[in-house]
Amino acid sequence: MIIYPDFQVLCFAALSVFEVANKEAGSRLYDLEVLGKGGGSVRGSFGQAVSCAPLVDDGFDTLLIGVGMEVPPHEPAVSSFLVDTASRTRRVASICLGSFVLGDAGLLDGRKATTHWNFGDRLRQRYPRCDVDMNKIFVRSGRIWSSAGMSAGIDLALGLVEEDHGRELAAMIAKGMVLNHRRAGGQSQHSAMLELDARSDRIQAALAHARRNLRNPLSIDELAAVACVSPRQFSRAFRAETGRTPAQAVAQLRLEQARMLVEQGSIAFDVIARDTGFGDAERMRRAFVKATGLAPSDLRREARATPRTDLGH
């Protein structure tokens, strides 16, 4: 991993995936090394210093880029190193805003990539020859991989291990790291629960109930009873806090859960439709096409073309 000054310490969580891979496999599958421009000591965002090796090509199999929470400055020495070594390195990956480092080296030209959702437009403007995909938590484009955020770097690293040694080992690593969500590369960066972001405990409780009981009709009366207010008061408060009607919010939760199940498994579409409250596969298909422009079958096909990680069994 190449780190920049003020790197976010969570970048090292991606390295932990390879460390745990060695432990779970019972053999040394990966050797880990931290590099920095000029070598020596590099300070992280917490103020602690990390000892780094200099940028010397030692025949690396995989290079990862770890930076801080702001777009890193262009470092000609790092760009030159990446340009020189990329052709001899099996794959190069960025974590969060590390995608800008890849872009500065010209490695995103003609490639797909992602980055943190708040910097997507900036990535497009700065590297117009890159196909920026802000709908995925990590993207693989040939030898170039990129993750949307710091924690998504863990998902990306699991995808790398899965490519090398299969899904079973990736699942063992996830279990060993006590990761309790299964996140495919195609999963959206955005969470419906975070976007709705209700302030009061009552509305939060109603949303949590809805998410746990998507196969139910989830009427205003049912949600209002959970919130312990009248249906009229509930509707008014819900819209004031979330900017959506309860029906719109429930539809968003249904779609998010259904999309996750469609992309990440082989469950029949009619079963997913029933379990998420759409009722039947055709109604679910229409909802997907309206929201995403793609049918569930198209999304599943795309997801199968993207490395997956099974987090927790």
Single out the catalytic residue among 52, 96, 130, 228. 96
Cβ 114 vs Cβ 147: under 8 Å: yes
CA distances from 91 to 64, 171, 223 (A): 9, 22, 49
- Known catalytic residue at 96: yes
Q: What angle do CA 232, 234, 240 make, to 5 degrees?
A: 110
One-letter identity of residue 256: E
| Structure tokens that stand for 301 in this block | 């096909």
Can you tell me the distance from the alpha carbon of 65 to that of 3, in angstroms, rounded to the nearest whole number? 6
d(CA 237, CA 235) in angstroms, rounded, equals 6
- Please state, in angstroms and as integers, the Cα–Cα distance from residue 106 to each residue in 14, 76, 142, 230, 249, following that order: 24, 12, 14, 58, 41
Q: Any idea which residue has 């498994």 for tokens?
A: 265
Strands (E), 78-181: 91-94, 112-113, 131-132, 138-141, 144-147
Burial class (CB in 10 A: 0-12, 13-18, 19+), 107: buried
Q: Which of 61, 56, 75 is nearest to 7 (CA)?
A: 75
Q: Tell me which residues are annotated as active site.
A: 96
